[in-house]
Amino acid sequence: MSSLKILVVEDDAALRQALVDTLGLAGLEVDSAATGHEAEVGIQATSYALVVSDINMPGQDGWSLLRRIHQLDPGLPVLLMTAYASISAAVDALQEGAVDYLAKPFTPDALLTRVLQYARKPGDQREPVATSASTQRLLTLARKVAAADVSVLITGESGTGKEVLARYIHRHSSRQDKPFVAINCAAIPENMLESLLFGYEKGAFTGAYTTQAGKFEQAQGGTLLLDEISEMSMPLQAKLLRVLQEREVERLGGRHPIALDLRVLATSNRHLGQEIASGRFREDLFYRLNVFPLQCTPLRERRDDIAELAEHFMAEYAPKRPTLPRFSDAAIRLLVDHDWPGNVRELSNVVQRALVLHAGSTVRAEDIVFDTSSSGWSMPPAPAAVVGDLHHDVQKREFEVIYEVLGQAQSKKAAAERLGISDRTLRYKLSQMRDQGFAV
């Protein structure tokens, strides 16, 4: 992970140092800039894996810097920070080309998770962990389908590694030197998803000040991943089906179709047969995507992978040091015996938590803390220099907003309209809220 170099852009000196310290403790190389101009100079002189920038800065603000970065280094991902958490801010950030946004205050875990998720890793060719027989069989199938250049539908519970498998397929295909572009269909409001997918011409709608290529065009020659496609609305499914059938896309407000040469992968954590039966997913789109189905196995059904995965995350998240901390036998037994409702994503969180709690060169059983709301356990108080409140992360703030709007609206449909999201996205958010213990 030391090969990842991050640029932090923040005009507040104390907060800038806190961000640098947080990322540095995770083993990342970090540069910082107090202004947009300083950031531009650094970007022209250094190859960064990610830029983390505040939006509200004197002089050149985060939006202007984002547009300038697109000119200087079009492939450089930018993660924006804002003190004003709102759906409109998220829409604006994504519309301008940011990979994501963080609403202040946020936790160190939230920051690190997004940095590691979005930082570009040009030399990273590590293969997925495959100790168990079921995972080895899955990767064998994935390598075979990678060579066939057909559409693949990857299903499985949340956190089982569906996107990891999709990237594995791309990496072993003839398109490996071309772009891999992913879009999460569940995380983006419906009225924005169409323009992000297909692109738009200048003046196509209010706010379309420039022409923007969509994800299909950005993935030309490579692979497009439609993550959680079952959350897409039925009208948009129909438009997507036509693009896949015709192998061409037309930008919103455009007059000329653009021929496409790419492979489409899709993922879902739902049972699509049931979604089709209930009228929430198009059967013809299912068969268009499901040329080759792959099923990711839950972590509880491939326990032979757990110890190696834990070591993998340890190597990824541990600060730079001569030797990595080792898991004690008791800690490994605890990990293997756990049922992992959150799958690999939960294991990643547990390892990061153990790195904070452990002392010396060994991670003990008492350093292993699981994501259970009934345990009554909470993270120790953060040092003053660490950003954010561990009890108020971005997701909780989002859930509180949804909860408040639901209490005021006359119906779920009215709540979805007020939030600026689709009914399907609201259902997905409510499901997440129930999983987190909200009484919805």
User: Helix/strand/coil (H, E, C) string of 374-436?
Assistant: HHCCCCCCCCCCCCCCCCCCHHHHHHHHHHHHHHHCCCHHHHHHHHCCCHHHHHHHHHHHHHC
Q: How many domains would you assign to the chain?
A: 4
- The reply to whether 111 and 149 lie within a common domain is no
Does 72 map to a domain? Answer: yes
Instruction: Indicate the residue among 118, 142, 169 that finishes a domain.
Output: 118
* Domain hosting residue 414, numbered range: 394-435
> Which CATH number fits the domain that encloses residue 246?
3.40.50.300
Does 63 map to a domain? Answer: yes
Rounded distance between C-alpha atoms, residue 370 and residue 77, angstroms: 32
pLDDT tens track, the chain, 440 positions: 445 789 999 999 999 999 999 998 888 889 999 999 899 888 887 878 899 999 888 888 888 898 888 777 766 888 988 876 555 655 666 666 787 888 888 888 889 888 888 887 654 446 788 889 899 999 999 999 999 999 999 999 999 999 999 999 998 999 988 889 999 998 888 778 988 899 888 888 887 788 888 899 989 999 999 999 999 999 999 999 999 999 999 998 888 899 999 999 999 999 999 999 999 999 999 999 999 999 999 999 999 999 999 988 888 777 555 567 899 999 999 999 999 999 999 999 899 889 888 888 899 999 999 875 434 343 433 333 333 343 345 566 677 778 778 877 778 888 888 877 877 778 777 877 776 666 56
State residue 213's pLDDT score. 86
Question: Do 350 and 342 meet the contact criterion of CB atoms below 8 Å apart?
Answer: no
Does 338 map to a domain? Answer: yes
- The reply to whether 226 and 203 lie within a common domain is yes
State residue 84's pLDDT score. 63
Question: HSE (CB half, 13 Å, CA atoms) of 244?
Answer: 23
Peptide bond into 298 cis (omega under 30): no
State residue 286's pLDDT score. 97
- The reply to whether 239 and 326 lie within a common domain is no
Instruction: Indicate the residue among 271, 295, 319 that finishes a domain.
Output: 295
- The reply to whether 149 and 174 lie within a common domain is yes
Compute CA 52 distance to the chain's CA centroid, rounded to the nearest angstrom.
15
- The reply to whether 171 and 291 lie within a common domain is yes
- The reply to whether 181 and 311 lie within a common domain is no
- The reply to whether 139 and 285 lie within a common domain is yes
Does 9 map to a domain? Answer: yes
